[in-house]
Structures are given as C-alpha cells and as structure tokens.
Homo-oligomer: A and B are copies of this chain.
Amino acid sequence: MNNFEYCCPTHVVFGKGTIARLSELIDRNKKIMMIYGGGSIMKNGVYNQVKQALEGFNVIEFGGIEPNPKYETCMKAVEIIKREGVEFLLSVGGGSTLDATKFISIASKYNGEDAYDAIMIREEPIKESIPLGDVITLPATGSEMNNGGVISRLATDEKLPFHNDLVYPKFSIIDPEVTFSLPTKQTINGIVDTFVHVMEQYCTYDVNTPLQDGWALTIFKTLIEEAPKVLSNPTDYDARANIFWCATCGLNYWISLGAVQDWATHMIGHELTAFYGIDHGQSLAIVLPRLLKNQKVSKSKKLAKLAREVFGATEPVDLKAADIAIENIEKFFNSIGMKTKLSDYEIEAQDAAEKVRARFAKRNTALGEKLAITADTAYDILIEC
C-alpha cells in the first residue's frame, strides 16, 4: 500500500426528508447565494423544499448553470457575489451545479485576470474561498464529498478538472427521494459515471490494497444489482438510496486511499464532450471499453479479478479473463440503455481521433496510471471507438 493522507470535513446528511435540516446547517446571519441549474429543481419540488427550509434567511438566487458548467457562466455569479457581499454558497442541483459552485467559491476570492487559466491550467494554490454547502440531486459525480470539480470554457472548447481542499462542502444533503423523478437518461448517465469513477481508481497496477479493491468490486456489484431496479421502478427508495451512496462513495476517495489511480478515460471523455457536446456519462461509456482493450496487458490482473468476482468468470488465464471483463462492462452499459460507440452519436471516429490527438500533442499530454497514454495512444483508442 502506498502512503496517503486523507481529511474530508464534509458533514453528510443522508436520507428521506433531510432537506429540512438546511435551516440548522447554515448560519442565518450570513448572506447566501443559492446556485442552481436549468430549472429541474422547480419541477421536482426541491426548490420549494429549500425555500421553505430557508424562510427568513437572506438568500439571493443564481440559476442557469449548464450541464458541463461553463466558466463564462460561473464568472457572472462571481461578479454578483463580489458586488453583493455574498458569504455562503448553497448549491442545489446535480454535480454540474456543485462543480460550478466550487469553482465560484475560489474564483470569487481570486483577483487576477483570468481565473480559468489560474485555477485550471497554472493551478495556482488559491488560499481563500467562500464556504459552500449543497443539496445534491443527482447520483453521479461524487462531488458532494470531494475537493474537485470540472469546468468547461466555451471560448476555447476546453473542459478541465481542478482540486482544492477549500472546496470540500461544509455539508452535503443527500435525499434519495429527489431522484424518483429523474429522467431515465440522467439515471443511466449517473450509473455509468459512477462505474467509470470506480474503474479509474480500481483498474490500475496492483500495490497490494485488497481492502480498497474489494470495496471497489462491491460498488460494481451493487450498481449492477440495483440499476435494473431503479430503471424498472423509479420510486424504489432503497435501490435509489443504494445507487446514490455508491455514487458518493465512488469518488469520496475511500476506495483509492493508498492505491494507484488512472483517469485517462475521463480526460479523453472530457475532450469528446468539449468538441461534440455529448453527455459526460456517454463519453465515458464510449472511451472506457476501447481504452481497456488498448491497456489490457498492464491492467490484466485487476481486470481478471473483476471478471471473476463480479461477472462470475472461471477463466484461469488473466489476459483472457480481462477480455471477459471488458465485454461484460460494455454489455452492462448497453443493458441499461447506454450506447457505447461514437457512431451512435453520428461522430466520425477519424475526426474525433485527429482532433484529440492534435490537442493532446499541443499540450504534451501523458495520461493514465503510468503516463503511458500519449496523444498517439489517444488516437489509437478513439479510432476504435
């Protein structure tokens, strides 16, 4: 096991009827900005529950955060926050809204010229932030219990991640009932996103972490068991709760402490979203199977374990069992209605492979657990997608 350090100060409030806890979790003397997305919270009743909990609080609102949240939109919120003296940010929505809120939290305290360049590209160690909390409404990103986010910049077709310990939420309210009314597409995207988060942390070279590996395999098993339940019965509370807790634990670092991580699937997927506008979950479902094929030799031990422990394979040869794992992952994605080919979205593999190779070459990108995925490898992967 590798050395590690870990500290997540987030107060998690999980379960039915928990949005009402907001009134005790936020200081009513602070000026609050409530940040949300395109208005789904108006339809599913979450907006009303939040407003009711915060009756008598000093709240201004900022709506319109997009899926794959945009830098340009975040900076509009920053301008208002600076002008109005906002002291606490409350994200109400999915991971996109929360990621935007995290970015806004530190960008509001950054006084230089270009916050995107500073935070995402130069990775300046910003040391001040506006505290934030969230009501998370979509099981997917795991953003509710970690210190990261992903922000896109329209002006340059970029989509990049950032990390800063200051953006751990003070609290995260997770009420699985708010997911009863999720559109099926979003439920599916979230399950795939969670599955791939866990793959990025589990499916790497072995440094002797049986506990962490077993926990990752348990998340796969739970997703595979619970996904059909929520798809056939969207108001199955326990299945919704199990899926949501899988999503949170898929990226709260518990399964990766002391282990090796990868994240190449995400970095290539981000480019597909930036260039073609496909959903994050969709991009991952396209890239993962082909990336695993490409990296099969170095990932064969973990893939074989996955094949045997999750998909019941009895194949004794690791490289052959690895194939079984890859096949079954793609089958699982397809079985819940997730497409896994660029052509399903009318994107030409040649075009995608060339565009991503050019960008990675320009950035001198080297991705993955062993930094083995260069611009040319990304081309080889995408041409097979």
Q: Is there an interface contact between B6 and A7, defined as CB atoms closer than 8 Å? A: no
Complex CA distance for A241 and B1, rounded to whole angstroms: 7
From A176, which residue of chain B is reached at the shortest CB distance? B1
Interface residue A245 (Cβ < 8 Å from any Cβ of B) = yes
Q: How far is the CB of A141 from chain B (nearest CB, A)?
A: 18
Q: Is the contact region of chain A dominated by helix, strand, or loop, or is it mixed? A: mixed
Q: How far is the CB of A219 from chain B (nearest CB, A)?
A: 7
Q: Given A218-B214, A226-B210, A254-B254, are A6 and B15 neighbors across the interface (CB < 8 Å)?
A: no
Q: Mark A1-18, 1 if CB is under 8 A from B, else 0.
A: 111111111111111111
Interface residue A258 (Cβ < 8 Å from any Cβ of B) = yes
Residues of A within 8 A of B (CB): 1-18, 208-211, 214-215, 217-219, 221-222, 225-226, 238, 241-242, 245-246, 249, 254, 257-258
Give the oligomeric copy count: 2
Q: Is there an interface contact between B257 and A211, defined as CB atoms closer than 8 Å? A: no
From A12, which residue of chain B is reached at the shortest CB distance? B6
Which residue in B12, B209, B214, B225 is a CB contact (below 8 Å) of A5?
B12
The 7 nearest A-B residue pairs measured at CB: A3-B15, A214-B218, A7-B11, A208-B238, A1-B241, A6-B12, A211-B222
- Chain B neighbourhood of A245, CB < 8 A: 1, 211, 257-258
Complex CA distance for A1 and B237, rounded to whole angstroms: 9
Q: Is there an interface contact between B1 and A18, defined as CB atoms closer than 8 Å? A: no
Complex CA distance for A16 and B222, rounded to whole angstroms: 34
